[in-house]
Amino acid sequence: MIGRLNHVAIAVPDLEAASAVYRDTLGARVSAPEDLPDHGVTVVFVTLANTSIELVAPLGPESPLAGFLKRHPAGGMHHVCYEVDDIIAARDRLKERGARVLGGGQPATGAHGKPVLFLHPKDFCGTLIELEEA
Ligand code: CO
């Protein structure tokens, strides 16, 4: 069911500093920051030859990243995003198999303007999974 790895997301406390690490130290192509107020985050994308890295920082005091960064003040790997052809079919299949789909199972619009869903880390080897309809 899952297809390509779309991106790996790294939560960071300081997006400008993290962008500089990827751009200047690692020599990667880093996008301009984009605020996603519906998700309470600001993101940049690092473009690699075979996938992307999403650097994600809190936007506003209610950000869902606040707790994560409290536990990981230097930042850390936050989620992996896999592509699926049909997000509703993917959701229904996962629910049938007992997986917990976050946010009531309703797809939200993700950073690429496409429908996304998040899956509970306890059901997936301790990793938060994002599904994006490719
Ligand atoms: Co993501």
Q: Which of 83, 130, 132, 133 is catalytic?
A: 130
**Domain boundaries, position 51:** 5-133
- 134 alpha carbon – ligand 1 mean position (Å): 13
Q: Which alpha helices (H) appear in the chain, and where do they start and end?
A: 15-20, 66-71, 87-96
CA 110 to ligand 1 center in whole angstroms: 7
Can you read off the two tokens belonging to residue 115? 């429908």
Structure tokens at 79: 């989620």
Q: Is 31 exposed, middle or buried (CB count within 10 Å of its CB: 0-12, 13-18, 19+)?
A: middle
The pTM of the full predicted model, rounded to 2 decimals, is: 0.94
CATH of the domain at 20: 3.10.180.10
Domain total of the chain: 1
So what's the pLDDT on residue 38? 86
Give the tens place of pLDDT for each residue, 42-101: 999 999 999 999 999 999 888 989 999 999 999 999 999 999 999 999 999 999 999 999
pLDDT digit string, tens, across residues 18-39: 999 999 999 999 999 999 998 8
Does the active-site annotation cover 130?
yes
Neighbours of ion ligand 1 (CB under 5 A): 9, 54, 81, 130
- Higher per-residue pLDDT: 84 or 111: 84
First CA to last CA across the chain, in angstroms?
A: 12
Residues 6+ apart with CB under 8 A from 110: 116, 130, 132
